[in-house]
Amino acid sequence: MTITPDVRFEYLEEIASLILKFKPDKWSKLIGAEENLALFTEFFEKPEVTVLVLTLNATGMIVPCLGFPESLKTKGVYFIKTKPESINKLNYKTNLLYGDISPLPVDQLIVVVEEVLYSLLNQSENMEGWPRVVSEDIVKQVHKLKNEMFVMGGKIKGKTLLPVPENLENLDGALESMERIPSSPDNSLLHAIETIIIDWSHQIRDVLSKDSAQALLDGLNPLPQVEFQFWDARLMNLKCIHEQLNRPKVNKIVEILEKAQSCYWPALQNVYMNVTEGLKEANDIVLYLKPLRISLEEMEQADFSVMYKVLWDPPLGAQCQLGQYDKASPCVPVPVSLQLPNFIAKVLDTIAFIWATSEHYNTPSRVIVILRELCNQIIEMVSLACPPGQAWPPPFPSH
């Protein structure tokens, strides 16, 4: 099908290729299909059709859609008419807005809040004629919303992100010395900093108050892997928090609070102390859980079903009981049947070593959690090895 050159199509291709990164032949295939050409024509010619979205499918082909789809699997590009009117070869640039859209709705919301709403409502020229009280409250609320989106984005990634007051931008550059800090910081700046300290305290308290035994307390049957994942995640999160607390902007906050003799200065000191202690604890526990993880992985990889077959499924008349081995029988040597007890003993020895040497994993509450999860692991292994409906242990066949 021959396509007559059209600057509107060329414009859409130029924008879409920059955002979606597709090859030129993909666009040719797109507009070469009659149904797609009809869809583009409808978007251009009908004033009531105001949105066009282009996405890539699993094979890399471009998929057009009129209106925003309910869900996206990949990144998309949208074109929106600024006015409900037709798009011709003269107004296509002035009457079309475009942008990229994320397949993750929350990520898209964060971008809209930070790059659109915040930028619009944080400019004084956009609030001309507004009462001062109203404009100040709008700025305060939009900054609060931006911080909430910032924190939410961190939670989605499994990290605790600490927002900082926007007012710090009023201090040019990093403060190199105490002399560059105002002797009496602006009240609004000091209030914003103190409010942020309260938020940080709550965020870090939430992180440190989480308990690896929560799944057990909820009545679930977690395996040891849950314990390992919990401490790995906590260590990563606390490292992220510690890194944020040592950034230049946060150093400004520390110096300002200290020089202003703020009543929140001790609270900030507690934040640093709690994060440092929590990081030390997580490092110690992750280090000492590594050998236990290796022992449990070895136990999981053992052929537990072979042990079951050796002990309880010999041919009729074969002499294959625990502690015996008849060369004439087809049974596997008995030592294989002792795999699980040996592994359990090794795991318990490792737990005892952790109890004796770890600085932070040496309390009953910690060890009880891993022992209960170990029991769940053994129960699961037995359940997988024992056929459904079969009692454990089944009796030896009678001769």
Cα–Cα distances (Å) from 328 to 316, 319, 334, in that order, read 13, 9, 14
For a pLDDT cut of 70, what percent of the chain falls above it?
Answer: 81
Q: pLDDT tens digits for 113-142? A: 988 888 888 888 888 889 989 988 988 898
User: Angle at Cα 159 formed by Cα 158 and Cα 161, nearest 5°?
Assistant: 145
32 in a structural domain: yes
Tally of domains within the chain:
4
123 in a structural domain: yes
376 in a structural domain: yes
The residue range of the domain holding 354 is: 294-385
2 in a structural domain: no
Cβ atoms of 270 and 318 within 8 Å: the answer is no
Ramachandran assignment for 103, one of left (phi > 0), alpha (psi -120 to 50 degrees), beta (any other): alpha
Answer yes or no: do 177 and 266 share one domain.
yes
Answer yes or no: do 205 and 303 share one domain.
no
185 in a structural domain: yes
pLDDT in the model for residue 319: 46
d(CA 184, CA 151): 30
Backbone angles phi, psi at 63, to 5 degrees: -115, 115
Q: Sign of dihedral through CA atoms 79, 80, 82, 83?
A: positive
Mean pLDDT rounded to a whole number for the chain = 85
pLDDT in the model for residue 92: 95
Answer yes or no: do 215 and 298 share one domain.
no
**Range with the poorest average pLDDT among 86-90, 121-125, 382-386:** 382-386
Answer yes or no: do 84 and 27 share one domain.
yes
Nearest CA among 50, 74, 54, 72 for reference residue 64: 54
Cβ atoms of 381 and 304 within 8 Å: the answer is yes
Cα–Cα distances (Å) from 325 to 310, 320, 321, 378, 386, in that order, read 10, 6, 7, 27, 23
pTM of the predicted protein model: 0.74
d(CA 273, CA 308): 53
pLDDT in the model for residue 179: 45
Answer yes or no: do 134 and 168 share one domain.
no
pLDDT in the model for residue 254: 92
Task: Mark which of 37, 69, 103 sits at the end of a domain.
Answer: 103
Task: Mark which of 113, 134, 157 sits at the end of a domain.
Answer: 157
Task: Mark which of 245, 267, 288 sits at the end of a domain.
Answer: 288
User: Confidence band (pLDDT; 50, 70, 90) for 3?
Assistant: low
